Amino acid sequence: MKPNDMESELAPYGLKLRGVVSLSDDEIREYGFTGQTAVALVGNIGSSYWPEFAQSREYADGEADPLDRWSLRVANEVVLNLNATPIFPFHGPPYLPFQQWAKRAEAQQQSPIGLMIHPQFGLWHSYRFALLIKAADEVVQIEQVSPCLDCIAQPCLNTCPVNAFSTNTYDVDSCAQYLKQTPSADCFKHGCMARFECPVGREYRYVDEQSQFHLQAFIGARMGLDG
Ligand code: B12
Ligand code: SF4
Ligand code: SF4
């Protein structure tokens, strides 16, 4: 299968091929990917998938996890014409290491707030699924340069009103508690403000509607967990 075939299957959904990673024998064994040799990452850059998703039946039907269900449907439609098996970032725990694969697929590094940062798209990209494929072994050398090294002000670490990223982890409880108690928080307009204030890739920032959707999904999941 050629990358071009994959790109043309993904394009109608606003999705992009985000690189192909050769799997090690250990990974194939650990994750039970017998017979496959590589993983092709599929995701969005900026709001690329939003127009398609926002007019989908999953977005409209009021059932739980619309984006995950959309991703499942799209992945299964895409593989009809490709010799590939879909896998998903949201199946777990244990979760598949999408961010570690991302680092091997493209010039990306982990930012101080845990999200992978891309030199062009900044923090404004994510993964909807991946395709397990049989690909010729190709070792692609990727030059890893993190834009964070030149970022003196690091607004991602000092914008959150409850310092949720101050301890080298993401304090999910403080974040969720704050959002629950503060309906006027800016995070409800633009999504996580720590992410929003990053200076890299600003032109790829998600449209507000998409950021609000993600934040509401996060809050909904937390409310469920909190009972
Ligand atoms: C569990 C999870 C969460 C949890 C908890 C994360 C945590 N820190 O504990 C919750 C639900 C809170 C969460 C939230 C978000 N998440 Co999340 N999440 C995941 C998920 C499903 C699994 C992570 C994992 O355990 N991986 C497995 C281990 C083996 O892989 P790993 O690479 O070692 O993963 C580590 C890193 O993710 C790291 N990490 C994660 N967050 C942080 C934060 C800091 C400060 C540090 C140092 C490390 C760190 O901890 C993980 C475990 O060691 C991944 C998808 C995936 N399969 O990776 C998405 C993922 C990491 N999330 C993602 C995103 C975008 C978010 C959100 C920003 C928004 C959203 N969902 O749209 C929110 C933030 C909430 C907010 N306030 O706005 C994207 C990141 C894309 C990118 N550019 O890197 C991913 C890859 C999903 C995707 N579909 O693309 N997430
Ligand atoms: S604000 Fe600076 S340190 Fe933080 S993610 Fe963006 S470039 Fe990196
Ligand atoms: S969503 Fe708001 S409260 Fe939560 S981590 Fe981001 S900036 Fe902090």
Examine the domain organization and report whether 66 and 113 are in the same domain: yes
170 lines ligand 1 (CB under 6 A): yes
Listed residues 102, 126, 145: the one ending a domain: 145
Distance CA 4, CA 1 (A): 8
Residues 127 and 75 in one domain: yes
pLDDT exceeds cutoff 80 at 227: no
In this structure, the answer to whether residues 182 and 97 fall within a common structural domain is no
97 lines ligand 1 (CB under 6 A): yes
Q: Helices (H) and strands (E) in the chain — how many of each? A: 11, 6
Output the CA 17–ligand 2 centroid distance in Å. 24
Residues with CB under 6 A from ligand 3: 160-162, 164, 175, 178-179, 187, 192-194
Q: Which of 145, 169, 185 is the last residue of a domain?
A: 145
**In terms of domains, do 114 and 134 share one?**
yes
pLDDT digits over 192-223, tens only?
A: 999 999 999 999 999 999 999 999 999 988 76
45 and 94 share a domain?
A: yes
Identify the band that residue 226 occupies on the pLDDT scale cut at 50, 70 and 90: very low
Answer yes or no: do 76 and 116 share one domain: yes
**Total domains present in the chain:** 2
User: pLDDT digit string (tens) for 176-193?
Assistant: 999 999 999 999 999 999
Q: Which ligand is nearest to the CA of 194?
A: 3
pLDDT of 137-177, one tens digit each?
Answer: 555 667 778 999 999 999 999 999 999 998 789 999 999 99
- What's the pLDDT score for residue 3? 66
pLDDT of residue 83: 85
pTM of the model: 0.94
Kindly state whether residues 58 and 73 are assigned to the same domain: yes
Domain that holds residue 215: 148-226
109 and 183 within one domain: no
Please tell me whether residues 135 and 64 are part of one structural domain: yes
Closest listed residue to residue 33, CA positions, set 25, 45, 21, 41 = 25
Quick one: 176 and 141 in the same domain?
no
CB 202 within 8 A of CB 122: yes
Task: Please tell me whether residues 16 and 37 are part of one structural domain.
Answer: yes
* For residues 26-40, average pLDDT: 95
Are both 35 and 138 inside the same structural domain?
Answer: yes
CA of 148, closest atom in ligand 2 = 8
Ligand 2 binding pocket includes 201 (Cβ within 6 Å): no
Answer yes or no: are the C-beta atoms of 143 and 11 closer than 8 Å. Answer: no
